[in-house]
Amino acid sequence: MKLDCLFRSSPSFVACLSRAMQVNPVFVESGVVLGAVLCVHMAVWNQHSWCSIALFIQAFYVQHKWDRLLQSGGAVFQFRPSANSGIVPASMVMPLLGLALKEKCSALGNVYFERFSMVITVTGMMLALFLSLIAMGVTRPVPTNTCVIAGLAGSAILYTTKQTLTVSEVIEVLEVLLIFVYLCLIVLYLMPRCFTPGEALLIVGGISFIVNQLIKRSLNLSEVKGDPVNYFLPVVVVGSLLLGVFFALLFCFMESQTWVSSLFFHIMTAVLVLGILMPWLSLFIGRHPLMWLWDFVMLNDRRLCLVGYWVFLAVVATCVVLHQNHQRQSGSKKHQASTVVRKYFHLIVVATYVPGLVYDRQLLHVASVGCLAVFLLLEYVRYFRIRPLGQLLRQLLTLFLDERDSGPLILTHVYLLMGMSLPIWLFPTICAPKGVLSGAGGLVPYAGVLAVGVGDTVASVFGSTMGEIRWPGTKKTMEGTATSVFAQIIAVAIFLIFDGNINLNSTYSWIVGSITLVAMLEAYTSQIDNLLLPLYLFILLLL
């Protein structure tokens, strides 16, 4: 009775109690990332893994300050709204990736790749420290405690870098950092509201590393070796970057929607591809790229069947887009595609990737890189309204916008492609003599299919249609997350049936734990899950 009177007489107490029971999604997201960091640390247990823990602590404090800066509108650039800064999950991706790769390949005695993995780890840490330094530099008043923690973490990382890397490797890290600085200034200025700080770190940092590696290999052609397939992605990324930056700066001073500008766009694109990228690529593979590609695709009948099957699925996806736009024209102009309709494309992508993973991963690698080039080119055409397809693409793709496409670019479909393809592009072939890793590593190429194609799709569909119990502080439901985990386990069982090269070696508990951890990250993150989820599952399955 006294307690009831206390509640009645103290409504503020009830309000405080309800606020205390609420869960901050950022804390849970950081806790999930910490779980991944500890998993990598226990598997690797070296100086760099200890530095990754220090990096996590300082990133956690910096994210808290940057989130407050974004809420107050004091950020220098315009970042994607309705999302936190995402510093913690983005800062840990590249360091953990390098640690996992080093652990997997050190047993084979490959000294070169082991050193390369260390460069990846240190580069990721330096990029994260630089972004944290920028965050604290623009925060007013200056966060003293956060600066002290960041200084201690940075000192430990710098000391470890001095002890473990050679002078040439340190110079390579600094080169990537320099490219990152200039690309961030260009990308964030030309594309406002397209990224959160964490997404900018993840995307621009990855592009900076690729650019540096391509320049390094171009200057040392005598040392170029390996599978020609691996050189397609760097050339496409650098070519797309040059094309986008050039026309973004050019069309600041001239109208892009005229026929003259459109003709100039097509001519310059052809010049870049045929006059620069093709010769550049031929230096790496030793042949004309088109002739090599023809022989590559025509190698056997299986590849021709896969290409025909993929063309059919591309036609199906196009028909879905046209059908949904026809419904919008016949109904309300404000009609938007539902979550279930958008997940149709996830199912189509799963149907595209699984046969390629089972039967021909090299062909899937090349095809996904080519698809990325086409997607980026079409996005440029849509963004600049290049005739004759620019305005048509704007009308067709507007239907499928969601809250993450708040900037001038529409990148959802590009993120979906990248999320499915990143485990294939990053697969350490040099550490798998027979093309397949042992244990849970056998599922590494399937990380994108599991996390995005199966897990994210099932969680969204079941969560939006049948979910009732929401995770505290989010719009995601417990039913969606649980169904996502079960669906991914079933998918693993199906992969075991059709792909005889996978041998899990009694690592089932680790696989289930990794899937569950990534599913929790999907439930609580506000970042682009199509990028984060495959990368974290990729890292955990490598261990």
pLDDT digits (tens, 9 = 90+) for 235-278: 999 999 999 888 888 888 888 888 888 899 999 999 999 988 99
Query: Is residue 479 in a domain?
Result: no
Share of the chain above pLDDT 90, in %: 37
Q: Please state, in angstroms and rounded to a whole number, the distance separating the CA atoms of residues 361 and 343.
A: 24
Give me the number of domains the chain comprises. 1
Asked, for residue 244, whether it belongs to a domain, the answer is: yes
Domain assignment present for 243: yes
Answer whether residue 358 is part of any domain.
Answer: yes
Asked whether residue 377 carries a pLDDT value surpassing 70, the answer given is yes
**Range among 11-15, 75-79, 199-203, 397-401 with highest mean pLDDT value:** 199-203
Q: 159 pLDDT exceeds 70?
A: yes
pLDDT of residue 71: 78
Per-residue pLDDT at 72 exceeds 80: no
The parent domain of residue 242 ranges over 228-326+335-427
Q: Is residue 398 part of a domain?
A: yes
Write the DSSP symbol of residue 454: I
Q: Which helix (H) or strand (E) holds 75?
A: none
In tens, the pLDDT along 253-263 reads: 888 888 888 89
Instruction: Flag whether pLDDT at 173 surpasses 60.
Output: yes
Written in H, E and C, the secondary structure of 11-54 is HHHHHHHHHHHCCCHHHHHHHHHHHHHHHHHHHHCCHHHHHHHH
Contact predicate 380/247, CB 8 Å: yes
2 pLDDT tier (thresholds 50, 70, 90): very low
Residue 185 lies in a domain: no
Taking the model in full, what pTM does it have? 0.91
Give pLDDT, residue 20. Answer: 38
pLDDT digits (tens, 9 = 90+) for 99-142: 999 888 777 777 788 888 999 999 999 999 998 888 887 777 77
Task: Identify the residue with better confidence: 468 or 434.
Answer: 468
Average pLDDT score, the chain: 84
Question: What pLDDT shows up at residue 331?
Answer: 56
Is residue 122 domain-resident? Answer: no
Query: Among the listed ranges 35-39, 270-274, 342-346, which one has the minimum average pLDDT value?
Result: 342-346
The pLDDT value recorded for residue 433 is: 66
Segment 460-470 shows an average pLDDT of: 82
Phi-psi region of 438 (alpha: psi -120 to 50; beta: other; left: phi over 0): beta
Q: Closest Cα to residue 540, out of 423, 421, 454, 460? A: 423
Is the per-residue pLDDT at 60 higher than 50? yes
In a domain, 372, yes or no: yes
Show the tokens assigned to 203: 């995307």
